[in-house]
Amino acid sequence: MDRRGSSEQTVIAWLGTAALISLALLFIMRWVLQDEREKDPIVVMGGGFLFNYRISEISYGVTAGVARAIPVGSRLFASFEDPAGGPPIETDAKLEVRRTRVFLTSGKVRGVIKDRPYHVSLILKGRNGDVLWSKELAYRSRLDGDMIGDEPLTIGPGYTPNPKLQPGSAGG
């Protein structure tokens, strides 16, 4: 009887251990899956102003990454505040399976004021136009836009000095 009682206790101990391990695995699976569903589909990786003094251009942009699965055919839209006061500058990019990062830029802007916040709206839309995610951002420039001249310092692919800016030229 002692032997049988001992084997029953062993079976009960094994069943209890198996039940605890199963519950722990279910908890971990639920936690992992829940985390994936609650995670934003897009993560902002960086952004800000770009001053290219060589070509006399200022722009600003946002780098975004895909953080979890999104529907096929989704597009990321960006609306940049125009520092010169015009209508918002809008652009978009199609998100593809192999493309995990996307850079959206305002293109050339003028009138940037140091330390003033400029607003950017990001909207992820599905193929049918439904809004899947959105985020509002603000970027500040550390430099004033008037530090960039009206004429580029260089021209062409070889960074040839701009003849309009050379001493003694008709433009300089």
Question: Could you tell me the CATH number of the domain that includes residue 56?
Answer: 2.60.40.10
Establish if 104 belongs to a structural domain: yes
pLDDT-derived band at 162, boundaries 50, 70, 90: confident
Same domain, residue pair 4 and 60: no
Does 35 score more than 60 pLDDT? no
Does 1 score more than 70 pLDDT? no
Predicted local distance difference test score (pLDDT) of residue 15: 80
Same domain, residue pair 97 and 120: yes
Contact status, residue 165 vs residue 153, Cβ threshold 8 Å: yes
Predicted local distance difference test score (pLDDT) of residue 2: 56
Establish if 67 belongs to a structural domain: yes
Rg (CA), the chain: 29
Q: Global pTM? A: 0.73
Give the count of alpha carbons within 13 A of 59, CB side only.
12
Same domain, residue pair 69 and 31: no
Domain count across the chain: 2
Residue with tokens 């001053």: 51
pLDDT digits (tens, 9 = 90+) for 135-146: 999 999 999 999
Same domain, residue pair 99 and 161: yes
**Tell me, what amino acid is at 4?**
R
Same domain, residue pair 73 and 27: no
Same domain, residue pair 32 and 47: no
